[in-house]
Amino acid sequence: MFSRRSIMAAALCLLAAPASAAAVHYTATMTAASEVPPTGTAGAGTVDAFYNPATHMLDYTLTWSGLTGPATMAHFHGPGAPGKNAGVTVPLGKDPASPLKGMATLTDAQAAQLASGLWYANVHTAAHPKGEIRGQLTAAK
């Protein structure tokens, strides 16, 4: 019938922890034209982020250049569709420098908003305290 070895192997497979879900890669291109209202500056930037559903961790890197001055703040906002403003969901620091790297733990609701394309990142300056550049996060293809 079944050998003791095959029964042990089957038991170990049943007891093994399920494989964790794969991280989801999100990107955004931040521009002055995407701000609401648009700022008309030459600033631009990118967001590169990975969300791990098993740990609820969002690992992110924001880079930017061409702003009217030093960044004063940066945030993730949501839930907000393109062209709509939303509240801060994850503050990314005061007086940040590019590249800005970090990690944040998301709630289930925040993760659902992110997955639905309802999060954006923006970078603020003294000349544009409501945000100089902005980009909507979308799952990378």
Mind listing the domains of the chain with CATH numbers? 21-139 (2.60.40)
* pLDDT score for 20: 55
6 pLDDT band, cuts 50/70/90, is very low
56 versus 6: the higher-pLDDT residue is 56
Query: What digits encode the pLDDT tens for the residues 45-67?
Result: 999 999 999 999 999 999 999 99
Q: Do residues 123 and 135 make contact, with C-beta atoms less than 8 angstroms apart?
A: no
Query: What digits encode the pLDDT tens for the residues 13-34?
Result: 433 334 457 899 999 999 999 9
Backbone Cα Rg of the chain: 20
Query: What digits encode the pLDDT tens for the residues 77-105?
Result: 999 999 999 999 999 999 999 999 999 99
